[in-house]
Structures are given as C-alpha cells and as structure tokens.
A and B are shown apart, each in its own frame.
Chain A
Amino acid sequence: MPHRIKWLTEAHYQDPLVNYGSTEFVLQFQDAAEILRKWRNPHLGRSSREGTIIRLANEANKSVELIRDMLLTTELDAKTEEQLIEQLKILTFMMNYTLPEALELVNKDLLLTPEDIMKFIEKHLALMRQELGKGLSMAKTMLSRLNELTDIEIRDQFGRKRRVQQSDVLDVLGKTLGNMIIRQSSLRPVDNIDARPRGKIRKRETYKAAILRSANIPPPTIETEDIRVVDKDRLALIYFIVDVSQSMSKTVFSGGLTRLDGALLTSLGLYYYFNLTNRRKRREFDTFKMHLVPVTEVPYVIDDNKKLERFLFEAEAKGKTRLVHAVNAVMHHVYANYQENDYDVQIIVLTDGRPNVPFKGKIPGRPDKFLVKYFEENASKTKIETRECMLQLNQLFNYLKKSMDRHWEISYFLMAPEKFKNSDLYRDTKVMLGGITKPILIDPTKIDQLGVRIIREAIQE
C-alpha cells in the first residue's frame, strides 16, 4: 500500500452536509393556536408564502445547474438521461413562467386556498403541454410542490422555522379541545359481549359503579360490568352556537386577539376534532353531523361542512347578542328536521357570556325558582337585560335536559382571560348553568396552559 493513499470513513471525515441545528421539532399546542391565528389573518402568513416561492425558485435554479453538470460528467442509463432532460425543460419553464406568476398572485392574495392553487396548476400544466408536448408526469409532481403554499411557517421557542401542514396542526388542536367535550358527554356501561372495552374509560364513574354494586368502600373488585366508557358510538348532531355580536370584537387577549377570534379558533378546533373522529370511524355515515348557528338578528342554521368552515374563517363581529334566539333556533331545527330519529344533540355555545336581547316569544318549560331568587337576593354588576336572558337560557336548557324524547348535551365555552373568574358575570353564569353543565373558560393566547390543565385534570380523574 503506497503511503500517500488514505482511507476516509465517517469517523475521520464527517459528512459536511450534516445539519447541526436539527433537533426534534415538537409541535406544541401553542404553535397550533398560532397557526390558526395566521389563517384568520392573511397578512400574518403572507411572508412565509412568498418565502415558499423564493425557495422553490432557488431550488430550481440550483437543480438546473446540477442536472447540467450531471448530464455532462456522470455515466447514466438512457432512461435516466431522458428523465433528467425532461426535468431540465420543466424547471426552466417553471422559472420563466410559473413561479413569477405565482409570486405575483401571492402578492395580490389571490393564491390562498387549495382550490386556487389547483386551478393555477391546471392552467400551467396546459401551458406546458403546449410548449413541451407529451410526458408531463414529472411536471405534475413538480407543480404539486406549490401546494406547500397552504403550509404555514411556525417557529419553535428559539425562533427556528419549520413548515407544517394544516392537517398536522388541526389534529393536535382538535384532540385537545375534543377532550373537553368528551368529559361532558354521556357514559354507558360496557357490554359483556365486548371482548375488550372500547372508548375512553371514565375512572371515577367506573369506581362509583363498583361501589354501588358491591356496597363496599373501597370495592373489593372491579368487574367488567362496572366499567363506564364515553358513549361516542351513537350518531349525534352537533350544533355550534357562535356569538358574533359586537361585544365579541373587543380585544382582550395579548397579541391583538379579539374574543371572536378566540371563539372561532375554538370552534375550528372542535370542528376539526369531530371531522377527524368521523374519518377514523370508517362508517358509511358520519357519526357527527355538524351545524353552525351564528348569533345574528335572525338566527339561521348552516349545515354544510364547507360553508361552515368558510364561515369560521371569514366571520366578523357586529350586532347584539341574541343567544336565546339562537338556542331556540337550534331546538326548532332539531324538531323540524330530525323528528323521527332520536339522535343525541350536543349544543356547543361559544360566547363572551353577555347575552343582551331577551326573547319575546314563548319559551317551553318553567323558570327556575331558585335562580330567580338568587338574582333577587344577590347584588351583582351584571346588567338587567343580561340577567333576564340568563333566566330564559336556564329555562330553555333545563327543558331540553329534562325532555324524554332524546338526549341533549350542552357545553358552554366562555371566551375570556383567567381573571374573568373573579367577576360577577362569571359567578352568575356558573349559577345559571348549575345542574346543566359547567362553563369552560378559554384563553386562546394561553392555550398551551389549557393543554396542561386538561392533562392535569385527566390525571386527577
């Protein structure tokens, strides 16, 4: 072995193209919330969309250079050579026509949704067909990279950038928010037929059932029949009641977020959660049928998922808070459309807790005497019309809860920061919802803490 020859392995010579800075990037709940905020505000995600196009152009530029070198220096078989030449032509076309146009459209906010991008790609494929002729399979894959425009850029705690897909984020957000709903939904005992219990086991209720059966504290054993799981298998109707009144446009959170933003973020998260569950069930029908009722002057029901999603992205705050009207509209919608099926109904109210227009028509059921007395005896800063609305809401909710024809569940989300818990309004709302549900306070800017809270409560259970 001549002395001038040396072997180099990775131990002697580290790969120079190693990325030292890459440590695992964990998608946190806070990141998810940030991304939703970006979708709500097209200005925020904009520079990253332009960045995507610049990156694609940069890559195309370098690719052209390397492919040319490769064709001239490296031994290739005829097929690879042909492919590379095709790629070269497509890249040149993209750099000359496609990417400049894409950048211009992004600047004018005309290339936002996957549909826009799809149309754009179709158009350019047609152009390429005219220019380059057949064999455009390569072009399709390359143009499909433009779909990255819908990805959003987020930063980790050190500010380093990562791009994430919409679906990744929504899974995280939806799962966490969905847990809160599940905690409020109905339970069922496990059948003996079940080979193993499916669904989320509720430990406290299971324990209670075991005590009742064995009449011992602590119960000596826990049998299969004691186990209580969340009943998710029944088909259920979901009604989001989203408060879009003027009071929701008030900026309460840091970072310029309004209450409306909070409500829409939360409902988006929940919407994606139910969508996800529907997908995972693999049934012929969707387990959860979703509706949305905006709190407007004349409440109406949106029952098309596409329109619903669009509404959540585009809603604006205006008008008064006719919460009772909206709940009433839900009731009528259910009775009018699902008279013959006893589907469960889950009403999800997202509001700032300030209803201010009492309902003029007839409300079924009777007012709760205890609540009337409570309002009379306790001085509070809550406005009179709000109190009246609360009485009506309580009456309506109670009626629904007690009705025998089907199972009604109510979740009440309050968009406010943590300090709202000290206010009279929060106390009143809590009393109003007594025996029906518990209000859940949501602060989107502290949404990571929300995740922590959920985990903590789950452990305590």
Chain B
Amino acid sequence: MMNKTNPKFIEAYLEARESVKEMFGETPENYLVALFLDSGIYDSVLLQTNQAGTPHALISTNELELLQELKNINKIVPNGQDLFLASERPRIYFPASRFELDKEVIKAKLVQLLSMALLAEKTESTFPRLLEQIYKKDAIIKELFANNVFELVKERSAPWAWQYFQDFVASLRLLSLYGIDDFYVPPASMRNTSVFYNFLLEIKGIVKERTQLERKMPLWELTLHGFGTYALRTYLDGLKEEIKVKIKPKLKGNLGQPFGEVGYVFLNWLAEENKGKSVYEIAKGLKNDYELVKHWKRSDTKQRLETYRNQLGDEALQWHRFRNGYWADLWPIRAQNYDRVADLVGKIQRKKINSRLELLMDKPAVIAHGRVKLPDRDVAVFSINEDAIGQEQMIILRNHLLADKGGFIIPLPGLPDIIVFKKFAGMHIAAYLGVKTGTGYPTSPYDLPLVSRAVQVTRRKDAYISEVREDEGKLSQMADYSELKNLTEPQHRAIRYLIKQGEVIQ
C-alpha cells in the first residue's frame, strides 16, 4: 500500500514542512494527511462535508440523491478545492489524482494546508476543539447507524430502515439546530419496547449534544482561511519569478478564494497597526472573527475591501484565464462571492456577531410560523430553506404524530399536518403534506396514504383557483388562522388555498 505514494509527493511534503518552519518558526505535529486512492471517494467526501459539516455526518436521502445525481450523472464536482478540517487534530484530505501536478504546485498547496493546520493546533479559539467533538459525535452516530440498522435490515428484512434513520438523524439535526425540538418528546416507556426504539432515543440524545456543540462554535473561518492565504502568498513571494509564473495558474482553487482573501486583508491590516507583532502571532491570539474585524469603522473597511477587490480583479485577469476562455464571465462570479463575504463582514461588524448561533439566528433558514387549527386536526406552518428536508423527510416528521397502536407503532410524538414554505432563486413554493386517517396496516413509516399539494406563492390572485366541494369546504371555513405569525399576505393566501385543496383531495 505504502509504496504507492509518489516520491514526488513525499519530497514536496517534506519541503513544505521545512518552508512552514522557516516562515513561522514551528510546524504542526498532531495532524493527519489522508490520501484517497480513489479520487471518486474524495469527490464524495468533499460534497458531503460541504453539505453537512464533517465527513461522517449523515445526510438525508433527499440530499444524498441530489448529490449522487450531480456527481455521477451531471459530473459537477468542484474538486479543485482542497478539503481541510480545522479540528483539534487537523485533517488534510488529498486525492491521489493531485500527484499528476508539478512538485512545486503540490508543495505550494501543502504549505497552505500545513500552515492552516499549524494555526488550528496553536490557536486560542475554541473552534478546533468543538469541531473535533462534533466530528467524534458524527462518527459515533454513523457507527451506531451502520451496526444497528444493518442488523435490523437483516433480521426483520426491513430495507426502509436505512432511509428512515438517515432521514431521522438529518432532519432532527437541522430542526434542533434552529431550536425547534419540542416535537420530539419521547415517552420514557419507549425504551423498553425494542432495540429499535432504544436506538432512536439514544441517537436523539447524541444529536442533541451535537447541536449544542454546534451552537457554541465561534465564527473563525475568516481568520483560518485568511491565515492560509497569508501563508501561501508569503511563500509565493519568496519564490523565483519563473517558478511563480509557472505554478500560479495551477493554484486556482487556493488563490483568490473569497474567505481567504477577505481574511487576508484584515490580518495584514492588523499587522500594519501592531508593529512588532507577526501575522502568525496575531492570528493565534484571535478567538473569533469579530475580534479580527472589530477595530475599524464601516467606511474604512468598505474602502479597504474595495481597493483590494480591484487589485484581485487585475490579478484574476492576469492569472486565472484561458486563452479562449470566458474570463469576462468568470471575474463577475468571483467578485460576487467576494462581495458576499464582504457583506458578511459588514454584518459581523454591525451586529457584533461572534458565534455561529448568532449568525444562524440572524436570518434563520428554518422558522416555525405557528399552527392553523382545524376542527379535526392541526396544520403546522414552517419556512425551511435547506436542502436537508424534503417531502420524504416530512413524512418522517409527520409519522411521529401517528402513535397508532394498532398499526405500525410510531415511537415518538411528532408533527401534525404540515405546510412548508421554501425559496429557490425565482420560486417560492408552499407545499402541504397530510396523511389520510383511518387506513389499514402500514408496513413501514413510508407506507402511508399521503395528501400533498404544492403551489407557487405569488401576488397574482388568479393563481389560487380551487375546486369547490359540495359542502363548500366547511372545514376550511371553520379553520382558525389567528395563531399564525411572521407571514406575508401572499403566504397567507397560499395557506388558505392549500388547506382548501387538502380537503378537496381527502
């Protein structure tokens, strides 16, 4: 196995360590470089980590199918990115396909990654420690999942269980992250019923611990990536001009990345103002990104970022283009990403945000809007702007309400019928999901007679034409909408329409 490692890579790696030592006086020691023999797996790990935070986190089948399709069929994977996990024991992931690059390029990439690893090891921020714990929690969930569910599938021949647990974990993680976990209050007696329920409860506990850790996490990405960019740029400046010219176009994934570049601006700025302190020392002392950006006024910051933006534009024009390529189209995309991060900095400065929780809650992706009370049931209204929860996952949530002792015994109490709002670029969709009652014996949580409709939320009134029932929809007339909150007028109309429609179909 070992002899497969390219000697070129080993050389580059050892030289990169030397360079890091020269630049900062020390090297990281407690880290892991994971080489993927199959770069297909690297692609998967990259997509998964970007989606869920750590490589072991379970993602819902909704996301899974989406990513699978994009990777295998559409072949859209940004695999030029270097995957780095800034946990207490930093993890660098590297696909074997990178061995084809020149030694100098590999070295430059490793200099950046090892510097980031160094910062993660030595920093005063709690970020790496918390990430390490989250990583471990995810690994535990995955192990529990793999072992228990495998047995369940084998013994009881219930192939739906894979999907169920994935969806369960992913949905629960997302909802509890946004503080909506009062739906999952399991009765204590459930634990004795079977291993299955015991496992569910166990997982629920671990997921909750995980979210608590995630809510504690400081914002630290700007500092981390800024430092990485600083290290790489310093290293490049020390190179001879001809080598620099050769390798710079190959470092497309490392240079000019918005987080790194914006962080780099502020680190340099801090170094200018604190004469005598090195950038490394400054970066080590920063506990979160607010400490990085808090020293300046908004107007100064804006101006500084604008200047750097122009500089970056010139550089991108010069280095990251192809002779016949569409560079003119590429720079705006890069600039847009840069602006987004610049806006984020503005938000951090204005609102003094220093933890991930504050950022999430500033504009939450998941909001509960209250319930519509119908004579025979409740309909809960949510906005969910996340990929994790789709219709399938909604079924899981919906199921938890149906503690139907005669049929499939549902372990936990859950949601009533649901209306979910979701936004895509030009679409704003309201989807209704309900379950018909009084039906037979379901063989799995997915095997339920569903009522579902979806409609585009719009200001146009003719969009909501509904079929009128013979009794003129008495149920919907008796509905009580008074508990709803934080909704716009078109959203209100969409809710009324969907409730009427749900009745028509039932």
A residues near B, CB below 8 A? 1-2, 4-10, 13, 15-17, 19-21, 23, 43, 46-47, 50-51, 53-55, 57-64, 66-75, 77-78, 81-82, 85, 92, 95-97, 99-100, 103-104, 107-108, 155, 157-161
Contacts and interface: CB of A to CB of B under 8 A. Distances in A.
Interface in B143-193: 149, 158-160, 162-163, 166
A74 B427 CA distance: 29
A17 B44 contact: yes
Interface string B433-466: 0000000001111111011111110100001010
B424 A57 contact: yes
B33 A155 contact: no
B483 interface: no
Contact of A47 (B67, B330, B333, B453): B453
Contacts of A73: 78, 80-81, 252-253, 257
Nearest to B65: A19
Nearest to B251: A75
Contacts of B422: 54
Contacts of A54: 390-391, 422, 429, 431, 454
B484 interface: no
B410 to A, nearest CB: 14
Contact of A103 (B44, B256, B448, B455): B455
A1 B5 contact: yes
Given A21-B160, A81-B325, A71 B333 contact: yes
B252 A75 contact: yes
B427 A72 contact: no
A68 to B, nearest CB: 6
Interface string B40-84: 110011011000000110010100111111110010111111000
Contact of A159 (B166, B429, B448): B448
Interface of B: 1-2, 4-5, 10, 13-14, 31-38, 40-41, 44-45, 47-48, 55-56, 59, 61, 64-71, 74, 76-81, 149, 158-160, 162-163, 166, 250, 252-253, 256-257, 322-326, 329-330, 333-334, 337, 387, 390-392, 422, 424-427, 429, 431, 442-448, 450-456, 458, 463, 465, 505
B64 A95 contact: no
B452 A64 contact: no
Contacts, number: 226
Nearest to A66: B76
B453 A6 contact: no
Nearest to A19: B64
Nearest to A49: B454
Contact of B456 (A16, A66, A70, A100): A100
Q: Sort A-B residue pairs by CB-CB distance and give the 4 closest, nearest first.
A: A159-B447, A74-B80, A159-B446, A96-B426
Q: Give the interface centre of A1, A16, A46, A50 by most chain B CB atoms within 10 Å.
A: A16
Contacts of A82: 325-326
B163 A160 contact: yes
A4 B114 CA distance: 12
B452 A50 contact: yes
Given A16-B45, A159-B442, A95 B77 contact: no
Contact of A20 (B4, B163, B252): B163
Given A59-B70, A157-B443, A159-B445, A72 B424 contact: no
Contacts of A23: 159
A107 B65 contact: no
A387 B453 CA distance: 49
Contacts of B387: 58, 61-62
Contacts of B33: 4-6
A60 B70 CA distance: 10
Given A61-B425, A103-B455, A6 B446 contact: no
A72 B35 contact: no
A373 B442 CA distance: 53
Nearest to B167: A21
Main secondary structure of the interface of A (DSSP, over half): helix
A81 B334 CA distance: 14
Given A15-B44, A50-B453, A62 B160 contact: no
Contacts of A159: 160, 442-448
Contacts of B78: 66, 69-70, 72-74
B190 to A, nearest CB: 22
Contacts of B80: 70, 73-75
A5 B13 contact: yes
B162 A20 contact: yes
Given A62-B66, A159-B445, A8 B41 contact: yes
Given A21-B61, A50-B431, A54-B431, 13 more contacts: A5-B13, A9-B38, A20-B162, A50-B452, A51-B452, A54-B454, A58-B66, A59-B69, A62-B387, A72-B256, A103-B427, A155-B447, A161-B446
B451 A5 contact: no
B41 A13 contact: yes
A5 B35 contact: yes
A63 B74 contact: yes
Contact of B424 (A58, A67, A75): A58
A69 B35 CA distance: 22
A298 B146 CA distance: 67
A67 B336 CA distance: 14
Contacts of A74: 77-81, 252-253
Given A46-B453, A77-B322, A10 B38 contact: yes
Interface core residue of B70, B426, B444, B452 (most chain A CB under 10 Å): B426
A47 B454 contact: yes
A17 B450 contact: no
B424 A60 contact: yes
